[in-house]
Amino acid sequence: MAGLTQAEVQQFHDLGYVMKPDVFLPLDLQPLRDELSDVVDREARRLFAVGKLTRLYADEPFERRVACVFREAEDIYRTIMGKGGGGHKGKEMFGVIRHRKLLDCIESLIGPEIVGSSVYRVRPKIPAMLHGVVPWHQDSGYFMPHCDGSTIVTCWLPLVDATEDNGCLQVMAGAHRRGVARHYSGGYAGYLEIPEEDLPEGRVVTAPVPLGGVLFMTNLTPHRSTENRTDTVRWSIDLRYQSADLPNNVDQLPETFDPNAAETEIACYPPEGDFVIQSPSHPEREVRGWEMFQEIRRRYERTSVPFPLRRWKPMSERAGNRP
């Protein structure tokens, strides 16, 4: 049967997450692994050419090469993450974003009219890297407050087996029912963070995901990313989808962003471009080609949209931190 089962949908609503192990065949994800290997190869060659790297590490596998390069030249991490974090926008990335098997699961959760939220990330989680550990947060902490009550589905999928040892995610089961917790900006490694005392009540669940599996979470599910204690890289991508009924910036241009527009006209995450990924009612609006997808993302890279993430105070102003 395509999509999530009724029991999986129920768990998503009851606990705020569900892990489905067999959404993809490992073969389905190989083209993206290859595309990312090419990115690493190009960057290694560039760093080598400018004298920042002593070797190309060309014989190292996907799970290790970026870590080898990073030890000598940390720039490679930023290159892969790209501007604002969501840089990689290749053909195979888009292939995963609009993969039939994944969209069937999303449809089970939010219905058939689906907008792909451009807030997606590719994460090579390099062993012992500071930014690899992400503290407790809810994705809504990053979004506009007028979207707090709406469902935006995060699909977290690893490109290798994600285990407790290499730093899979932990979720706070059941805590998504308690609204948006207080976050602080400038938390651990500069991320938005819910400090311990503000964590909503819930059960901490460690969520390993095998290659081919997907962890589905709500935007209100507190989650964190634990340390990678292995010597290999925990590659993953996190994608987000919402119903076309929610505010989005499809067909808007970043240059014309108006912070004073009605809330219905302001996307849940204004700095990046949303795109229609599936629309049975208006199939002509669907973005089907990766070139168009890339163009939408480029537009938002070229023009920064001022973004009031400022609903949170800086960590330095947290009561316990005051001098």
Question: What are the C-alpha distances in Å from 26 to residues 22, 23, 98, 160?
Answer: 9, 10, 16, 9
Q: Which of 150, 225, 243, 252 binds ligand AKG (CB under 6 A)?
A: 225
Based on the shown chain and the rule CB under 6 A, indicate whether residue 296 belongs to the binding site for ligand AKG: no
Copy the structure tokens of residue 49: 């050419």
Contact flag: residue 139 with ligand AKG (CB under 6 A): yes
Residues 272-291 that bind ligand AKG (CB under 6 A): none
DSSP labels, 96-158: HHT-HHHHHHHHHHH-S-EEEEEEEEEEEE-TT-GGG-EEEE-GGGTS-GGGTTS-EEEEEEE
Which residues 230-259 are close enough to bind ligand AKG by CB under 6 A? 236, 238
- 57 part of the interface to ligand AKG, by CB under 6 A: no
- Strand, helix or coil at 235? strand
Closer residue to ligand AKG (CB): 156 or 293:
156
Q: Decide: is 161 part of the binding site for ligand AKG (CB under 6 A).
A: no
Q: Please name the residue that has the structure tokens 């083209």.
A: 31
User: Does the protein bind ligand AKG through residue 89 (CB under 6 A)?
Assistant: no
Of 77, 143, 156, 312, which lies in the binding site for ligand AKG, with binding defined by CB under 6 A?
156
Q: How far is the CB of 36 from ligand AKG (least distance, A)?
A: 15
Beta strands in the chain (DSSP E): 17-20, 114-125, 134-137, 152-158, 169-173, 184-185, 203-207, 214-217, 223-225, 234-243, 275-278, 313-314
Q: Report the run of H or E that residue 168 belongs to, with start and end.
A: none
Q: Provide, rounded to whole angstroms, the least separation between the CB of residue 238 and ligand AKG.
A: 3
Q: Does 125 bind ligand AKG (CB under 6 A)?
A: yes
Cβ neighbour number for residue 194 with a 10 Å cutoff: 24
> Residue 140 or residue 252: which is nearer to ligand AKG going by CB?
140
Rg of the chain over Cα atoms, rounded to whole angstroms, equals 19
Chain residue at closest Cβ approach to ligand AKG: 225
Measured from the CB of residue 253, what is the shortest distance to ligand AKG in angstroms?
Answer: 27
Of the candidate residues 79, 150, 154, 219, the single one contacting ligand AKG (CB under 6 A):
154
Residues binding ligand AKG (CB under 6 A) = 123, 125, 134, 139, 154, 156, 223, 225, 236, 238
